[in-house]
Amino acid sequence: MELLTGQSIYYSNKSHLPLEDVAESLLALKGLIEATPDILERLSPGLHIQKVNVYLNEVRAGSLWEDLIVKFIWGSQEKLSQDVDAWRNGLRVDSIISNRLIIGAIIGALIMGGGIYLLDKLKGPEEQKQTLQTNQNIFILAGANLTGITEEQFKSVIDGAISRKEQIPKDAVKLIRPAKREGSVSITLNRDEATTISSDAIRAMPNMVSNDEIPESIEDFQNIEIQIRAIDLDSTKRGWAAVIPSVDSRRTKMHLDPHIKATNLIGKTVIMGDVTVIFRYDQSGNRIPSLVFLRNVID
């Protein structure tokens, strides 16, 4: 038998997002939701969730809104009734599984905790870790209040899940990535302003580009000179390359924003525009541009 709930997430981006960002964030949210049964069972010993299925309910463009349906599955109606009764009696929470708040608190704590885990592993700045910890404390407090346990107990369960499942930190980074495309974006879970991932926390989250957890960084540049070195009129992603002298002298692969018409760039070797640059780090710690996103062309 099953219990049905949902999860929604709102990104306050002002610009349209590439489709691959949206798809990646949806899969990351799905992955984090699929990590919750183990956490729920540890928060309530005796609870036995067989599996969880996640379905897409709605996606809205503009500022990105993702809404999912979450189905927790038990082996039988009798076992479901026993677990729900035990959950309500033991944790003093009525209908907690069928609302969004407890799952949202767990997901928010996992996202921030995943960022802290990666920063520890990469020996990242303490200031960034503290920023993430401050935001995670909001989700820990909410989760502890909802489940009737102490904040220390709730945090211990979250930290244990992150240490056991390497995919959680990776999904946390992927879920945050769309918000990093702009400077002051926040993320709100389940339309609850009390459980928001702040723009400071988003900036503090690490980035990675491979299974080896190689760090990367993303930076926006406005109204700068772009030297076009290669074009492909049949694609906005393949065959384009540029040099941005104020950023780096290296020729770098470039993608065009969907609203930019490739034909408008024919014959132009130097333009002014707005770009987002993804940087990778070599073994010596040097920052190297790996991809340029041309966001706008300034006439």
| pLDDT reported for residue 46 | 66
Average pLDDT, the chain: 83
| pLDDT reported for residue 82 | 59
4 vs 157: which has the higher pLDDT = 157
Inform me whether the pLDDT recorded for 198 exceeds 90: yes
| pLDDT reported for residue 55 | 80
Of 63-67, 144-148, 212-216, which range is least confident? 212-216
Per-residue pLDDT, averaged over 244-255, amounts to: 94
User: pLDDT tens digit string along 86-98?
Assistant: 555 544 333 445 5
Domains annotated for the chain, with CATH where assigned, are 2-207 (no CATH), 215-298 (2.40.50)
Inform me whether the pLDDT recorded for 254 exceeds 90: yes
Per-residue pLDDT, averaged over 128-149, amounts to: 92
Per-residue pLDDT, averaged over 30-47, amounts to: 84
Grade residue 59 by pLDDT with cuts at 50, 70 and 90: confident
CA distances for 135 relative to 109, 112, 164, 280, 289, angstroms:
8, 7, 22, 26, 30
C-alpha–C-alpha distance, residues 130 and 116, integer Å: 9
146 vs 154: which has the higher pLDDT = 154
| pLDDT reported for residue 71 | 62
| pLDDT reported for residue 91 | 43
Per-residue pLDDT, averaged over 69-77, amounts to: 59
| pLDDT reported for residue 247 | 92
pTM of the full structure: 0.65
Highest mean pLDDT among 76-85, 182-191, 201-210: 182-191
| pLDDT reported for residue 94 | 37
Per-residue pLDDT, averaged over 190-216, amounts to: 77
Inform me whether the pLDDT recorded for 226 exceeds 90: yes
| pLDDT reported for residue 68 | 66
146 vs 73: which has the higher pLDDT = 146
Inform me whether the pLDDT recorded for 285 exceeds 70: no
156 vs 195: which has the higher pLDDT = 156
Per-residue pLDDT, averaged over 230-256, amounts to: 91
Grade residue 99 by pLDDT with cuts at 50, 70 and 90: low
Per-residue pLDDT, averaged over 147-171, amounts to: 92
Per-residue pLDDT, averaged over 122-126, amounts to: 82
